[in-house]
Amino acid sequence: MKNRILVKRYTQGLVGALQDEPDFISVQRELRKFQELISTHGVLKDALANPFVAARRKVQVIRDILAAAGFSGKTSRFVLLLFGHSRLGLLGEVLEELPVLWNERRGVATFEVSSVVALVEAQKLRLAAALERMENRPVFLRYSIDPGLVAGFSLKKGNVVYDGSLKGHLAKIKERISEG
């Protein structure tokens, strides 16, 4: 729970520093690139996690990587901020939360759509249109596959879940039977 709160705070701070859509796209791309770089280079990852490597040396290594990759000042400052507070491990979660908070700032509702199989483009368009009518504003949909649903799909917006899956219907029937 504590990590979730930290992720949201760091992400909100980053979103507050972003000026426009191109800035958002650029910073998001750079952060993904940095995360990939750290996760794919085992020696680098180990060196940054090693308590016997001086903190100043670690910061210099990160600065060198950021400079060599040509990352923007915003991206560099954010990565160094996370590292300085021993929160670099939150970067993956920040990247997941970033589009949600960016869309929220722009007045776009974000829904997480889980289904047993991938939805075809026509289904995605119909779903997006229906949700936009329901919300009276633009929507952004994030799709995922959940084989546990059995059939249908579920929608999640924040803490609210709209369950249109067979699994959800069976759970409701079970609940009604158990209530008498």
Question: What is the CATH classification number for the domain harbouring 92?
Answer: 1.10.520
Domain identity same for 155 and 124: yes
- Find the helix or strand (DSSP H, E) in which 109 lies: strand 109-115
Question: Which residue range forms the structural domain that includes residue 150?
Answer: 107-179
pTM above 0.85, yes or no: no
Mean pLDDT along residues 34-39: 89
Domain identity same for 96 and 9: yes
Nearest to 74 by CA among 2, 153, 16: 16
Domain identity same for 81 and 122: no
List the beta bridge partners of residue 160. 157
Query: What does the pLDDT look like over 83-117, one tens digit per residue?
Result: 989 898 888 999 988 988 898 888 888 888 888 87
Rounded Cα distance, 86 and 49, in Å:
10
Domain identity same for 115 and 62: no
Query: What does the pLDDT look like over 117-173, one tens digit per residue?
Result: 788 899 889 888 988 898 888 888 888 888 777 677 778 887 777 776 666 656 667
Q: Give the residue from 81, 102, 123 where a domain finishes.
A: 102
Place of tokens 């990565």: 79
- Find the helix or strand (DSSP H, E) in which 140 lies: strand 139-145
Domain identity same for 67 and 39: yes
Domain identity same for 137 and 94: no
Domain identity same for 131 and 163: yes
Domain identity same for 23 and 96: yes
Given a contact cutoff of 8 angstroms between Cβ atoms, the answer to whether 119 and 152 are in contact is no
Domain identity same for 53 and 141: no
Q: Which is it for the CA torsion 64, 65, 70, 75, positive or negative?
A: negative
Rounded Cα distance, 129 and 126, in Å:
5
Among 31-35, 37-41, 107-111, 167-171, name the one with the lowest average pLDDT.
Answer: 167-171
Domain identity same for 90 and 38: yes
Q: Which is it for the CA torsion 141, 144, 145, 148, positive or negative?
A: negative
Domain identity same for 150 and 165: yes
Q: Give the residue from 102, 122, 157 where a domain finishes.
A: 102
Given a contact cutoff of 8 angstroms between Cβ atoms, the answer to whether 90 and 6 are in contact is yes
Half-sphere exposure of 124 (CA within 13 A, CB side): 13
Rounded Cα distance, 139 and 128, in Å:
7
Q: Give the residue from 86, 102, 118 where a domain finishes.
A: 102
Question: What is the number of domains present in the chain?
Answer: 2
pLDDT computed for residue 104 by the predictor: 86
Query: For residue 78, what are the CA distances in angstroms to 15, 70, 112, 114, 152?
Result: 11, 14, 26, 31, 40
Domain identity same for 98 and 111: no
